[in-house]
Structure 1
Amino acid sequence: MRFGYGTNGFGNHRLPEALAVIADLGYDGVALTLDTNHLDPFDADLARRTAAVAAELQQRNLAVVIETGARYLLDPWRKHSPTLMDDDPALRLEYLRRAVRVGADLGAEAVSFWAGIGQAEHWGRLVDGCLEIVDVAAGQGVTLGFEPEPGMLVNDIADWRRLYADLGEPPNFGITLDIGHCRCLEPIPVADCVTAVMDHLVNVQIDDMRRGVHEHLEFGTGEIDFPPVLKALAPYQGLISVELPRHSHAAPAIAAQSLDFLRNAAKEASNDHIG
């Protein structure tokens, strides 16, 4: 079982320093959000800067997935805008195309993205945008992980299944599963959510959460029983990355505590399996 940490939880660190801390703590990888301070995909010399990050990752023996949840990268006034649901999604599509290119250059295990907030009648916009990115990713050998996000048009696992079907079930289009989201809104136990999507699982975000409240919490402060979840994740070979995007103020300490918690929960899950 391989644990990673999201760079969106190290927003006050320069990227090389964030990678150094994450590696020194003992993590196996990073979920790298392309953002203003962390490998900005719209800044100059992207290829050169990507190569430098690739060297850092290799030196520190860190695997990587690419995340695209930057808040104000595309619009300094509107969080996460534009999205695939907007009247003009061109800038979002360009961001995703660049994320795929960076993912290919870094050897990322997946590039993750989500729908955005929108009306049901605009479902076709989402399908069209995803089809374009699926094609771009297929051309570069990149696996996509699409994340159901509470409050967005693809809100839960059932919505992801509908989208996957409407896209024609492309082989490079998997699911990014946030464990906290499962507790927040899915109708079945969290561990059962993992089992239900295992055949399509390409990226995992992990955090604690409470029922009905979309707030990413430190482990042990929400309602999730983690050993059964990690037991359900046993067949999964990809990164399981801590997702605490509002905890940059204490990133090193929280990252250390998170890894200790996950290792203990994994040990408990393993002992339960043996028993």
Structure 2
Amino acid sequence: MTPAPIRFGYGTNGFANHRLADALQVIADLGYQGVALTLDHHHLDPYADGLARRVARLADRLRALGLAVVVETGARYLLDPRRKHAPTLLDDDRAKRVAFLRLAVAIGADLGAEAVSFWSGVRPAHVPPESAWRRLVAGCAQVLEGADGPPLGFEPEPGMLVDTIAGWHALRRELGAPDRFGLTLDVGHCRCNERDPVPACVAAVAPYLVNVQIDDMRRGTHEHLEFGEGEIDFPPVLRALAESGYRGLVAVELPRHSHAAPDVAARSLAFLRRAEQEALLEPVTLGSGAWEGGGS
């Protein structure tokens, strides 16, 4: 049976120099089916006045453009103008991050988002590893408790306390394996940080996927690259995604390419569609620990 077509989206953090309304229009006009919306001071600032009104207006606009949405929470200086990504769930002032994540869940619910994505953060030097882990578990539990909303997609991020799929599994077990605690998988991170080939990573986590980000990357270097500039062989990866049963968005994640966003977004979708067609013509199968025909 032919797998269902992949639903490609684009991250608004790659349109940082555009007004949100303009970014959404460009993304829709190019043919993307969704957006990964990073809440930020210039893109649906959650701390500006009139939030409920602005969220309702955005929900209407997304529907009019036919764009699905996931909510991303990785803005660099939204919570602290001096410390990148701070505070995280590991910091002394982590309550501010917990409150932000709970607000993001509420915004996601009002937008009809398919998932809300977040990560652990980098361990502060003065916080011992055991204390950082306890803080992370407690913070995730606080975000999970109480309100219903979209699934939570926790993302293993290179350089952070939880940086691998194995770390995500350990965290999920510690939390009691709650249904709403899913996985955000960045395809590039698999090449950067995981031992297994990228398609094998996708297949292994398929039951837990609630959000997927896609970009090219090189082994051991956490740099989001345009497709074809890294080391990933994408047709086997897209075949694995199509066969995984995952039907959510697969959103391009190029946060350092805003200077040429429309052109980069156009090139990215053309590349992914070609790779998807190639994937459908050349099925891949999981062998003994590696994907036959996949060089990733």
Q: TM-score range by the shorter chain?
A: over 0.9
Please state if 1:171 is matched with 2:176. no
> Which 10-residue stretch deviates more, 86-95 or 162-171?
86-95
Question: Residue 133 of structure 1 aligns with which residue?
Answer: 143
CA-atom RMSD in angstroms: 0.9
The Cα shift of 1:176 comes to: 0.2
2:25 to 15, 20, 23: 20
Show CA shifts across 1:169-210 (max 9, x none).
Answer: 000000000000000010100000000100000000000000
Contact 2:106 2:149 in 1 (8 A): no
Show CA shifts across 1:195-248 (max 9, x none).
Answer: 010000000000000000000000000000000000000121000000000000
Please state if 1:261 is matched with 2:274. no
Please state if 1:108 is matched with 2:82. no
Aligned equivalents of 1:132 and 1:220: distance in 2?
40
Please state if 1:247 is matched with 2:257. yes
The Cα shift of 1:15 comes to: 0.4
Spell out the pairing of 1:47-58 with structure 2 (5 A cutoff).
Answer: 47-58=52-63
Show CA shifts across 1:87-134 (max 9, x none).
Answer: 121111111011001100000000000000114212010000000111
Question: Residue 124 of structure 1 aligns with which residue?
Answer: 134
Contact 2:108 2:149 in 1 (8 A): no
Aligned equivalents of 1:180 and 1:49: distance in 2?
33
> Which 10-residue stretch deviates more, 89-98 or 71-80?
89-98
Please state if 1:214 is matched with 2:222. yes
Aligned equivalents of 1:117 and 1:70: distance in 2?
14
The Cα shift of 1:141 comes to: 2.9
Aligned equivalents of 1:106 and 1:141: distance in 2?
10
Aligned equivalents of 1:102 and 1:224: distance in 2?
34
1:37 to 42, 46, 49: 42
Matching residue's letter, 1:174? G
Structure 2: gaps spanning 5 or more residues: 1-5, 285-296
- The structure that is helix-richer by fraction is 1
State how many pairs are aligned: 272
Spell out the pairing of 1:147-186 with structure 2 (5 A cutoff).
Answer: 147-186=155-194
The Cα shift of 1:273 comes to: 2.8
4+ runs of 1 displaced by more than 4 Å?
none
Aligned equivalents of 2:145 and 2:35: distance in 1?
25
1:99 to 104, 108, 124: 104
Aligned equivalents of 2:202 and 2:134: distance in 1?
28
% same residue: 66
Question: Residue 290 of structure 2 aligns with which residue?
Answer: none
Question: Residue 80 of structure 1 aligns with which residue?
Answer: 85
Aligned equivalents of 2:24 and 2:145: distance in 1?
31
Secondary structure of 1:31 counterpart: strand
Contact 2:186 2:212 in 1 (8 A): yes
Please state if 1:237 is matched with 2:247. yes
Show CA shifts across 1:57-111 (max 9, x none).
Answer: 0000000000000000011111000000001211111110110011000000000
Aligned equivalents of 1:116 and 1:141: distance in 2?
23
Tell me the TM-score normalised to structure 1 length. Answer: 0.98
> Which 10-residue stretch deviates more, 214-223 or 110-119?
110-119
